[in-house]
Structure 1
């Protein structure tokens, strides 16, 4: 499910059509965890129109983060935001397949609940990228936060639930 770099949101507008290059000085796309879930991921899951955003749609798990950061450098500021389908390790299983290009993403803790108006609307999981094969991969400076909706039409067993991921490199 690779979407070319010109089509970056569910409305299939190019960056220029959506005003990507016409943002006012000082504008930054830095949504909170709650905003990512409520205004972007929930709407994407329910096929509703999205507000203008800097979220690209690509299969994150098909590529090394260095490749994605270079390919989508015009979209990112400090972080790159990506809509990506969830890939399962086994067809009928629940375990996610987090292999990515020449490495893999490894979870680094428990899911964090994201609330809106006191109700859990989604979850955030932190992951770190390793080069090589598990469990002997070499840890890199890439960190990712994977967000998922609490309840959506694509969250059922056996489906490829949509995720939004933000990732950045740390030093």
Structure 2
């Protein structure tokens, strides 16, 4: 509780216009890896925690909180084994009210400062409507995941609940 109060004080002292904008390497190294390893991570209002089933139960505009003109939101996502299957490129939202479709081809490796791939980034675009009449929206998501080798090297048991990822959801300029 004391720590939460201290973190809130830090946020109040930040200058106007401050934005949380980590690089891919920072997001994976300092946030995702620390979360998976059980180390301290930023306060909950910087990166919220959500289960994949909850994330894909509603359209993106019903999951994020609009305040202060923000257009990017970050989530620690509990990923179950279905989402570790890279062959799944479409994720249905709710009862078919929309879907996230993987775009930009297969996952992109994230390289550390030595040039080694240590995580993967997946790009998604949100479409409203059903598969027969979809409408592309301005919602984008980048999903960052550690490879299964990370979990096995650290001797983590990855069960049916799967692992953890970080999602960056963004509403680009436009209507939807």
TM-score by length of 2: 0.72
Please say which structure displays the higher CA radius of gyration. 2
Moved over 4 A (4+): 153-157
1:8-47 Cα deviation digits (max 9, x unpaired): xxxx947973644442234210000010100000111111
Report how many residues are paired. 156
Please say if residues 37 and 147 of structure 1, whose CA atoms lie closer than 8 Å, have aligned partners that are also in contact.
Answer: yes
What's the Cα RMSD here?
A: 3.1
**Aligned residues of 1:86 and 1:162 also touching (Cα < 8 A):** yes
Structure 1 or 2: larger helix share? 2
- Give the structure with the larger strand fraction: 2
TM-score in terms of structure 1 length: 0.74
How big is each residue's C-alpha offset from its partner over 1:58-92, in whole Å with a ceiling of 9 and x where there is no partner? 232222101123xx2248733111111124449xx
Q: What runs of 5+ residues in structure 1 fail to find an aligned partner?
A: 1-11
CA gap of 1:16–1:35, structure 2 versus 1, over 3 A, is closer
Aligned ranges 1:3-82 → 2 under 5 Å: 13=4, 17=8, 19-52=10-43, 54-59=46-51, 60-69=55-64, 72-74=65-67, 77-82=70-75
Structure 2 spans left out of the alignment, 5+ residues: none
* Matched residue, 2:131: 134
Deviates more, 1:156-165 or 1:99-108: 156-165
